[in-house]
Amino acid sequence: MMTCQDAIQVLADYLDGVLAPEVAAALERHLADCAPCRAYLATYRRTRAVGAQAARLEMPDEMRIRLYQFLLERLR
């Protein structure tokens, strides 16, 4: 039987479609009976979508240079 902790650990693979079929089935059974994990999955999906959208944004050159300089100073 899958626990909530087990479910959380496999969500990324589940959403990527690379989870073994028997593990995916166990996760889906767990999700059917666990409202908190369904809510977590919904939030995780939204978070991934926002992250993917943000990754597509282009950083202005000035900001990229300032960030690079800031990081160099902090790493010294």
The domain total for the chain is 1
Tokens of 51: 């992250």
How many alpha carbons fall within 13 Å on the CB side of residue 50?
A: 6
In the predicted model, is pLDDT for residue 28 greater than 70? yes
Residues 40-63 have a mean pLDDT of 84
CATH of the domain at 8: 1.10.10
Report the amino acid identity of residue 29: R
Q: What is the pTM of this model?
A: 0.67
**Residue-number span of the structural domain to which 37 is assigned:** 4-75
Report the amino acid identity of residue 47: T
Per mean pLDDT, which range of 30-34, 41-45, 55-59, 66-70 is the poorest? Answer: 55-59
Q: What is the pLDDT of residue 74?
A: 86
User: Tens digit of pLDDT for each residue in 56-74?
Assistant: 767 788 998 999 899 888 8
Buried b (16+ CB within 10 A) or exposed e, 24-43: eebbeebbeebeebeebbee
